[in-house]
């Protein structure tokens, strides 16, 4: 069980690294770009940021899926990607399950997905706040 927990936490750390790198890259690009002022230009920026964030999540899902297949916990990559996506997003249909000894990893993957989605939401909110000048003011 400790080995599985170690593997799960290592994959979580790798996902955090992917997410941090991806969001830092997006932030750098956003700082270098002209701040949109119109409805359509702002909306287009939000769409691009949303697509980028979803691609980061897809990469993280793929990492988990690849590890499951590589270690024989899932029969093929297609099934593994489906299982990983359902687990990462905490949808949890239950139609495909990991072998008993891998179930700790599925729990860590779900927790990782929750964390990464929360981080993405915070990042998206910060962009919307910056564009619309609704940054919270410090209390007196």
Distance from C-alpha of 99 to C-alpha of 80, rounded to nearest angstrom: 12
Q: How many C-beta atoms surround the C-beta of residue 33 within 10 A?
A: 9
DSSP state of 100: G
Domain definitions of the chain by residue range: 2-30+47-132
Distances (CA, A) of 112 to 47, 100, 126, 127, 133: 24, 20, 21, 23, 31
2-30+47-132 in CATH: which number?
Answer: 1.10.287
pLDDT by residue, tens only, the chain of 140 residues: 788 889 999 999 999 999 999 999 999 988 887 777 788 888 888 999 999 999 999 999 999 999 999 999 999 999 999 999 999 999 989 899 999 999 899 999 999 999 999 999 999 999 888 877 754 556 65
pLDDT of residue 62: 98
User: What does the block give as tokens for 124?
Assistant: 């998206």
Distance from C-alpha of 130 to C-alpha of 124, rounded to nearest angstrom: 10
pLDDT of residue 138: 63
pLDDT of residue 136: 53
pLDDT of residue 135: 47
CA torsion sign for 124, 128, 134, 137 is: positive
């Amino acid at each position: 069980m400790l080995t599985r927990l170690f593997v799960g936490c290592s994959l979580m750390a790798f996902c955090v690294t992917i997410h941090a790198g991806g969001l830092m890259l997006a932030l750098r690009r956003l700082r270098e770009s002209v701040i949109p002022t119109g409805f359509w230009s702002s909306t287009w920026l939000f769409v691009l940021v949303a697509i980028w964030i979803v691609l980061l999540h897809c990469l993280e899902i793929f990492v988990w899926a690849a590890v499951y297949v590589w270690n024989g916990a899932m029969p093929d990559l297609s099934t593994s990607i489906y299982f990983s996506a359902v687990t990462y997003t905490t949808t949890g249909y239950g139609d495909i399950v990991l072998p008993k000894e891998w179930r700790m990893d599925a729990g860590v993957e779900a927790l990782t997905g929750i964390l990464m989605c929360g981080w993405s939401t915070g990042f998206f909110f910060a962009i919307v706040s910056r564009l619309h000048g609704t940054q919270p003011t410090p209390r007196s």
